[in-house]
Every structure is written in structure tokens, then in C-alpha cells.
Amino acid sequence: MSHEKYEDYQECIAACHACIVACNHCAACCLQEAHVQHLVRCIALDTDCAQVCQLALSFMAGGSDHVPPVCRVCADVCEACADECAEHDADHCQQCAEACRRCARACLAVAG
């Protein structure tokens, strides 16, 4: 991969990394909530989102030819996670929703 292409991915790589951290934090915090049964979908989406963000980050760092489709899927999962997290009042959920939306925008920019 050319250095220029890697440079093009830097913003998205950073957004994916921030999203992974936010999703893992959100899931861990949700598991500590008193009514965890109401947060099952949030926790599941946090996990899915962190995993797909890690995949996208790895594909970009490695210069894969499959970055665009992976980033499109990543954006879709990030949006789903953001929508779910935005439904909850907890700060960790709201922060996760913001990180997911930023990541979705960055992934869509890379996907073209």
C-alpha cells in the first residue's frame, strides 16, 4: 500500500479505534447496571460494533483491497449501535452513540 493511501485512512483508523474503546466501555458499564436485562441489545450491538471496527481498522492498516466494502458494513453496524445507545440516558451510552456516529461518517468517507 502506498504511504498516501495509508495517510488517507488515518482519520478513519482513529475513529475506529475511538469507537472500539467507547463500545467496550459502554458494554462493560451496561453489564453493571441494575436492570441489565433492558440493555441486552445495547450490549450485543456494542460487541458487534467493536468487532467490526477492529476488522475495518486491521484492513485499513494492512492496505487490503477490501477496505471499501468492510468500511460500508462497519458504518452500518456503527449506525445501528448509535441508534440503540442514543435510546439510553446513561452517559456511557450517549458517549458511545457519538463515537459510533463519528466512526460511521469516517467509514463512509473511506468507502466512497
Structural domains of the chain ordered from first start: 3-111 (1.20.1270.360)
Query: What would the grid cell of residue 101 be?
Result: 456516529
Q: Which residues of the chain have pLDDT under 70?
A: 1-4, 6
pLDDT of residue 6: 66
Q: Could you tell me which residues come within 8 angstroms of residue 60 by beta carbon, excluding any fewer than 6 positions away?
A: 6, 9, 12, 13, 16, 67, 71, 110
Question: DSSP letters along 29-41, please?
Answer: HHHTSTTGGGGHH
pLDDT of residue 7: 78
Q: Check residue 8 and give its pLDDT.
A: 84
The Cα–Cα gap between 68 and 101 comes to: 18
pTM of the model: 0.94
pLDDT of residue 2: 52
pLDDT at 22: 98
